[in-house]
Chains A and B, each alone.
Chain A
Amino acid sequence: MPSNSSPRRAAVIGSNRIPFGKAGGAYANATNLDMLGAALSGLVARFQLQGERLGDVAGGAVLKHSRDFNMTREAVLGSALSPQTPAFDVQRACGTSLETVTAIANKIALGQIDSGIAAGVDSTSDAPIVVSDRLRRTLIKLSRAKTLPDRLKLVASIRPGDLAPVAPDVAEPRTGLSMGEHQALTTLKWKITREAQDEIALASHKNLAQAYEDGLFDDLITPYRGLVRDESLRSDTSAEKLAKLKPVFGKGLGEGVATMTAGNSTPLSDGAATVLLGTDEWAAERGLPVLAHVVDAEAAAVDFVRGEEGLLMGGAYAVPRLLHRNKLVLADFDFIEIHEAFASTVLTTTAAWADEKFMVSKVGLPPLGRLNPAVLNVAGSSLAAGHPFGATGARIVGTLATLLSRAKQSRPDGGPVRGLISVCAAGGQAVAMILEAA
């Protein structure tokens, strides 16, 4: 729906996240529920939401224990929010919390609610371990068995091989390839150089470190378990250091073509992020700021299974469609946030946007033109901050809304100040969103 015909736009009022930890790092013993609770607690304290009954809370995690079936509602019950605040869980892989922002924003735009929180969390340190299917079936039968002989028979049927746990992995179920190996194929196809990828990684660390120095995160982050800054951030990294790292993905694709290293690939992370949304009126009644409005969002998916498209190229489709619907071009945006699943994801996506042949033949829309690197991920992104799958979308919305608000304040008489978000996700998916400074 074009923005100008929308009944009302949801306001991004503020956000809070915990610093993102490295897998097995500061949050090694924290659960998804712990981290989501901590991020919510900081949000409640920052915006004085104690005892408030909000319209809805949407949250989600990608790696989720079955006991956490009602995770977000449990987090609300453990928070200082009114226990009458409802909540639901959502999952769209790495796009999870951009999807929760969309869900809450849509409810607000439709007049169903006046306020809500969109959140996401993930722990790779506390990932669920699954037992083998054979063992699981036997255990279910065992719980139903009525007589002792029946039970003994079932126990006797368990074989040593059934006991091996099944750990979660990031391989695509339909191709068996890891996300990194998929992206290595795309990197090769678009002829993305190692230097260009390292440049993206270096900028991510430098920009994130600078944003911390500038106090950008004072109102966006609440420390947790002694962690004050993102654990993956290397403010002292350099092009030389990044250049020394050995490639880890695409090593089987041929001699000397592997370019993706641990330095230009996102690390496994733990963390949680939240965004407070509402109507302008709801915010004004409480003396709360409106940083930005949610203009529109778009999800896309590509056919990566048969090799038609790269796994993480969804953004090359979602963004052009979103911009076309809103009659906008890349040059209309002051800030562009592209989730750095890998440095090369950013490069292949933006290369595709500029490629006339690709755009016309695959997306069916005119090319978007070249991206101005000065507006890209100006406060760092996932390579430096880390990427707890479910939390990344909410992290980006919180940061971008603050950047937009600051930019608007520095030129109050200028035109609209806009921001664009693109987050790729497993399963060949992507979610994109437009925010505009209030």
Chain B
Amino acid sequence: MSDAYLELVNSGVTKTLAKKLGLPRPAHLRRTDPAAVDTPLIPGRALVIGEGPDTDAIARTLLGWDLDVHRNVPDSPVGAVVVVLTDLTRPEQASQRVLALGSVLRSLAPGGRVVTVSRAAGPDDEPAVAAVRTGVDGLLRSIAKELRAGATGNGIVLGDQISPDAPSAVGALRFLLSARSAFVDGQFVHVNTADGVAPADWTRPLQGRVAVVTGAARGIGAEIARVLHRDGAQVLGVDVPAAGESLATVMNQVGGIALQLDITSGDAAARIIERARSRYGRIDIVVHNAGITRDKLLANMKPDHWDSVIAVNVEAQLRMNEAFLAADGLSPDGLRLVSLASTSGIAGNRGQTNYGFSKAAVIGMTRALAPRLADGAGTANAVAPGFIETEMTARIPALTRQVARRLNSLQQGGQPVDVAETIAFLASPQAGGINGEVLRVCGQNLVGQ
């Protein structure tokens, strides 16, 4: 799924022309090289803005990753800026740090990163404290819209009493700095607990883990299988029997197991559990990726168009989750569920009442599952992709597609691998303190939050 416009504005005469005309110029995003994962982690030196113990802790974390860390604005370009705002108690205190960030934005390298670290506002906060904490929301989302050349801005929001040294705070920081978060922009990752563990090897955080991926035969699902495998996981790929040929091809690429079944059948979870138990003895990760669209205006909606979308996109997940949660000893280290939501489920989309309903339902399901899974050291999270370049979006009429691609801060569609990277992060041991989250992979799409 190539984006001809993106290629044109990045090469030769058309590049000059686009520049002169002031046309949108989407950049080639910095993505993970499977042969050199996380290398380099950021495209240049790191600048940490802030004061106090939290800032010191974050600077130490970055030093631990062998980054060239600066505490004062350097003269030369920077690859990433981390702005620590956890200690602020009034809006007026933000000024110095925000303006310091402003002074380096012009020298931010292509594919650079801005990451804010702040604290969650709570109902018991003093109004001034709540004001500055919530203010970060509008600040970061605005910064992200000002960044160019494939740079992104995202925030980490720490819960009460959560240290920036907490495994998931560190894990989120690394994810947001790295190429793995290429298409995540203008988003916040909430770290609710100090759970989770740093992996022995940051480039293979899923080593020894067993992952089930539904809808693994093609598109985003196939890419999820590849990224989970790259990160060290053993993959059990599931898809409908009719997709068996491509499922086999993908599983042979990742050394996984192909299991042909329809997830809406009553015994789907039992068969998945049986296969995983006999081959691997466990399931650590379940990625509910399988989903369908049957777009129709509601006025023209046929019963089977509505019902089939609900059956595949959410009812099957609900049923399978019950079985996974009830299976004794299936996930000794806690089950990590990651479901595919969609920006259509957040902002709505014309012609997608069925799809929007099902994807919003997935978000509700995820939030309700989070506390239940936390009891067993697991998590439930969702990823909401925006416009992703897949076979499905390739069927959108050309002009509509061109417009849809530009409707985000990165001015382009994401790739399936971008969704897969975020799922792999949420399934990783270092993300154990992130639970009940819906993380958007949308390049900061203009619609919804």
A372 contacts chain B at the CB level, 8 A cutoff: no
B159 contacts chain A at the CB level, 8 A cutoff: no
B260-A219 in contact (CB<8A): yes
A42 contacts chain B at the CB level, 8 A cutoff: yes
Find chain B residues with CB under 8 A from A209 CB: none
Find chain A residues with CB under 8 A from B280 CB: 287
B260-A218 in contact (CB<8A): yes
Q: Which candidate, B244-252, B322-330, B364-372, is the interface stretch facing chain A?
A: B244-252
Find chain B residues with CB under 8 A from A38 CB: 245
A288-B278 in contact (CB<8A): yes
Interface of A is mostly: loop
Find chain B residues with CB under 8 A from A288 CB: 278-279
Point out residues on A near B: beta carbons under 8 Å. Answer: 38, 41-42, 44-48, 50-51, 79-80, 215, 217-219, 221-225, 228, 286-289
A286-B279 in contact (CB<8A): yes
Closest to A220 in B: B260
Find chain A residues with CB under 8 A from B24 CB: none
Nearest CB on A from B14, distance (A): 39
Q: A45-B258, A80-B252 are in contact. Are A222 and B278 (CB under 8 A)?
A: no
Find chain B residues with CB under 8 A from A218 CB: 241, 260-261
Closest to B245 in A: A223
Nearest CB on A from B403, distance (A): 33
B255 contacts chain A at the CB level, 8 A cutoff: yes
B241-A228 in contact (CB<8A): yes
Known: A218-B260, A221-B244. 12 other contacts (CB 8 A): A41-B249, A45-B247, A46-B259, A51-B255, A222-B244, A222-B247, A222-B248, A223-B242, A223-B244, A225-B245, A287-B279, A288-B278
B132 contacts chain A at the CB level, 8 A cutoff: no
Find chain B residues with CB under 8 A from A46 CB: 248, 257-259
Closest to B244 in A: A222
Nearest CB on A from B228, distance (A): 15
Closest to B254 in A: A50
Rounded to whole angstroms, the CA-CA distance of A44 and B237 in the bound complex is 13
The 4 closest A-B pairs by CB, nearest first: A45-B248, A45-B258, A45-B251, A80-B252
Nearest CB on B from A109, distance (A): 25
- B267-295: contact bitstring with A at CB < 8 Å (1 yes, 0 no)? 00000000000111100000000000000
B256 contacts chain A at the CB level, 8 A cutoff: yes
B39 contacts chain A at the CB level, 8 A cutoff: no
A48-B260 in contact (CB<8A): no
B244-A42 in contact (CB<8A): yes
Closest to B267 in A: A215
Could you list 14 examples of A-B contacts with CB < 8 Å?
A42-B248, A45-B256, A45-B257, A46-B258, A48-B251, A48-B255, A51-B255, A215-B265, A217-B241, A218-B261, A223-B241, A223-B245, A224-B245, A288-B278
Find chain B residues with CB under 8 A from A79 CB: 252
B244-A48 in contact (CB<8A): no
Q: A223-B245, A228-B241 are in contact. Are A41 and B281 (CB under 8 A)?
A: no
Nearest CB on A from B225, distance (A): 11
Closest to B280 in A: A287
- B384-414: contact bitstring with A at CB < 8 Å (1 yes, 0 no)? 0000000000000000000000000000000
Find chain B residues with CB under 8 A from A42 CB: 244-245, 248, 258
Closest to A289 in B: B278
Rounded to whole angstroms, the CA-CA distance of A224 and B247 in the bound complex is 11
Other-chain residue from B245, B252, B259, B281 in contact with A287 (beta carbon distance below 8 A): B281
Nearest CB on A from B183, distance (A): 29
Rounded to whole angstroms, the CA-CA distance of A218 and B256 in the bound complex is 17
A222-B260 in contact (CB<8A): yes
Nearest CB on A from B237, distance (A): 8
Find chain A residues with CB under 8 A from B245 CB: 38, 42, 222-225
B241-A41 in contact (CB<8A): no
Other-chain residue from A48, A221, A222 in contact with B257 (beta carbon distance below 8 A): A48
* Highest count of chain A CB atoms <10 Å: which of B257, B260, B265: B260
B242-A287 in contact (CB<8A): no
Nearest CB on B from A329, distance (A): 35
Nearest CB on B from A298, distance (A): 34
Find chain A residues with CB under 8 A from B259 CB: 46
Find chain A residues with CB under 8 A from B278 CB: 287-289
Find chain A residues with CB under 8 A from B265 CB: 215
A48-B279 in contact (CB<8A): yes
Rounded to whole angstroms, the CA-CA distance of A160 and B44 in the bound complex is 76
Find chain B residues with CB under 8 A from A228 CB: 241-242
* Highest count of chain A CB atoms <10 Å: which of B243, B251, B252: B252
Rounded to whole angstroms, the CA-CA distance of A48 and B255 in the bound complex is 6
Find chain B residues with CB under 8 A from A287 CB: 278-281
Rounded to whole angstroms, the CA-CA distance of A282 and B255 in the bound complex is 19
Nearest CB on A from B432, distance (A): 27
Closest to B241 in A: A218
Find chain A residues with CB under 8 A from B281 CB: 287
A44-B241 in contact (CB<8A): no
Q: A215-B265, A287-B278 are in contact. Are A221 and B241 (CB under 8 A)?
A: yes
- B78-91: contact bitstring with A at CB < 8 Å (1 yes, 0 no)? 00000000000000
Rounded to whole angstroms, the CA-CA distance of A48 and B251 in the bound complex is 8
Closest to B276 in A: A287
Rounded to whole angstroms, the CA-CA distance of A286 and B278 in the bound complex is 8
Rounded to whole angstroms, the CA-CA distance of A288 and B281 in the bound complex is 12
Find chain A residues with CB under 8 A from B249 CB: 41, 45
Rounded to whole angstroms, the CA-CA distance of A44 and B279 in the bound complex is 14
Rounded to whole angstroms, the CA-CA distance of A48 and B265 in the bound complex is 24
Q: A222-B248, A228-B242, A287-B281 are in contact. Are A50 and B255 (CB under 8 A)?
A: yes
Closest to B249 in A: A41
